[in-house]
Amino acid sequence: MPQSYAVPVGSTERIRSRRKLTTVIVPLLALVLAAAAVLWASTYRSAPQQEPLTLATGLNGGVYYELGQALEGLTQDSEVPLAAQESAASQVNVEMIVSGEVDAGFSTSDVAALAARGEPPFDRPLPIRAVGRMYDQPLHLVVLADSEYQRLTDLEDTTISAGADGSGTRVAAERVLEVAGLEQGSDLEDVSMDLAESVEALEDGDIAAFFWSGGLPSQAVTELAERTPIRLIDLSEWAGPLAEQGQSFYEDVPVPVDTYPGVPGVRSIGVSSLLIVSTELPDSTVESLTGDLFGSRADLVEVSPVIRQLHERSALNTQPVELHPGALEYYQRAKPAHRSAQRGHRG
């Protein structure tokens, strides 16, 4: 006979209770897990990216413009991505940084120094800081190769372009013209043109010469030399008079032969270029920006060989423009690594 088993009293009730509890807990647990997943996704996977810093560069055809475009591409995955903005450079860049229109920009050291000191064309000391000194850029004075002009003073009674308004080119050109005793408007005519306009006007015979301040080589001048024979006028004789006037940031610098196709080498006056930022940028942001600049050096050399001059030690020389504390933090952190690399190299 089959055996029968008696169910203990109360067991049926306990089984039913566990089934009811399971029916409640499982959906509740699924709801909790789903909420956790949504929270994780919103916190980590959908976190907004860092808003790009706007970098004011320079005119198309110049080194500032080329470097800005390259840095925009190289920093897209960085903690501090950059968005390049074309400009007249230097003076305009300083003004846009101070107004908050952009976060950073390139400037020649003479314009940045005048801004820091509050000297004309600026009416007060402006709150800018330097990320670092980048490279030297000579002042070009470009004429057609078959022209009669051999010295700056030979351009008396001619029409020239001293650069675009608000550019570092114009600031430097006006100082050189002043020490040379050439008054704009009476001794010669000066038409405000950007680089592309100046190149076209020289080729068309509308001007006798144009000034341009830029790193070597500047693409627009290279392309001009490939189409039309040109020369550069030696400006080194004016370095001494400028220094006597307290313009010590102008130095005697070379433009080597064949920097531009078929153009003989000359000496000129030059200034250094700086990357500058607002004093309002956080230290951590500027430290990351400085790291990206030096981390991109090898790629930037491919864009413009002048970036070979960019080094952590020389970059500190930005006076009278003070270094931003974030940039200084980067250099202090990079110094031990630099020394360690040197010891390893010697070993």
Give CA separation, 243 vs 237, 239, 250, 252, in Å.
Answer: 11, 6, 7, 10
Contact between residue 317 and residue 85 where contact means Cβ atoms under 8 Å apart: no
Contact between residue 140 and residue 268 where contact means Cβ atoms under 8 Å apart: yes
Q: Each residue of 79-110: b (16+ CB within 10 Å) or e? A: ebbbbbbebbbbbbbbbbbbeeebbbbbbbbb
Q: What is the mean pLDDT of the chain?
A: 87
Domains in the chain with CATH codes: 53-336 (3.40.190.10)
Strands 82-85, 53-56: pairing is parallel
Summarize the confidence of residues 191-197 as an average pLDDT: 95
E strand intervals along the chain = 53-56, 82-85, 104-108, 128-144, 159-161, 189-190, 209-213, 230-232, 251-255, 266-278
pLDDT digits (tens, 9 = 90+) for 100-143: 999 999 999 999 999 999 999 999 999 999 999 999 999 999 99
- pTM: predicted TM-score of the whole model, two decimal places: 0.78
Is 60 exceeded by the pLDDT of residue 19?
A: no
E strand intervals along 145-218 = 159-161, 189-190, 209-213
Give CA separation, 82 vs 76, 103, 278, 286, 323, in Å.
Answer: 7, 10, 15, 12, 20
Is 50 exceeded by the pLDDT of residue 150?
A: yes
Output the pLDDT for position 246. Answer: 81
